[in-house]
């Protein structure tokens, strides 16, 4: 009976979990991480917005607890996650449907990062001024 397979062939966890590494894998990891984070925010966001159905006071009381610098930074992180997920999602669509998409997937990730920086440069100063009380 060939029942003595080497341990390496029967372990459940593969020796390396890096797949191919580099831009292709890390953008895939980031897409999953940002997607899950946005999803859990969305569940909470629908629940807190639903307080408008209870009373103006109930909604305003909960929203008031959000108006502090820690939540303001959390909102900035949420927007960053959404912006990356959105632009990288367009990149995924181009890889799937554009005939040259797979060839340029790595270049397109750097375009995604560039557009991400530009978008956040437009959003962050204004949002942080609102949060930290500037004009």
Partner 1 sequence: MTTIADPKAPRPPKPRPARLTTRGNTELYGWVFMRASGVVLLVLIFGHLFVNLVAGEGVTAIDFGFVAGKWASPFWQVWDLLMLWLAMIHGTNGVRTIINDYAERDGVRLALKSALYLAFVLVVVLGTLVIFTFDPCPSGSPADLLPSFCTA
Residues that bind partner 1 (CB under 8 A): 12, 32, 35-36, 38-39, 42-43, 46-47, 49-50, 52-53, 55-57, 59-60, 63, 67, 72, 75, 79, 82, 86, 89-90, 92-93, 96-97, 123, 126-127, 130-131
Provide, rounded to whole angstroms, the least separation between the CB of residue 3 and partner 1. 15
Distance between terminal CA atoms of the chain? Answer: 78
Provide, rounded to whole angstroms, the least separation between the CB of residue 126 and partner 1. 6
102/120 Cα distance (integer angstroms): 27
CA dihedral 115, 117, 121, 124 (to 10 degrees): 110
Provide, rounded to whole angstroms, the least separation between the CB of residue 38 and partner 1. 7
Provide, rounded to whole angstroms, the least separation between the CB of residue 89 and partner 1. 5
Q: Which residue lies nearer to partner 1 by CB, 55 or 100?
A: 55
Q: Which residue lies nearer to partner 1 by CB, 20 or 53?
A: 53
Show Cβ contacts of residue 19 under 8 Å, excluding neighbours closer than 6 positions.
Answer: 25
Assign 6 to helix, strand or coil.
coil
Q: How many residues does the chain have?
A: 135
């Amino acid at each position: 009976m060939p029942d003595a397979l080497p341990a390496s062939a029967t372990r459940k966890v593969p020796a390396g979990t890096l797949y191919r590494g580099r831009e292709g894998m890390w953008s895939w990891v980031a897409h999953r991480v940002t997607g899950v984070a946005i999803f859990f925010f969305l569940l909470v966001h629908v629940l807190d917005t639903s307080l408008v159905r209870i009373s103006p006071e109930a909604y305003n009381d909960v929203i008031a607890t959000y108006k502090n610098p820690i939540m303001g930074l959390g909102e900035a992180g949420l927007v960053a996650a959404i912006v990356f997920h959105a632009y990288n999602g367009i990149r995924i669509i181009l890889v799937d449907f554009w005939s040259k998409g797979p060839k340029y997937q790595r270049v397109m990730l750097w375009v995604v990062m560039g557009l991400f920086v530009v978008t956040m440069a437009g959003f962050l100063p204004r949002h942080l001024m609102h949060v930290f009380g500037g004009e």
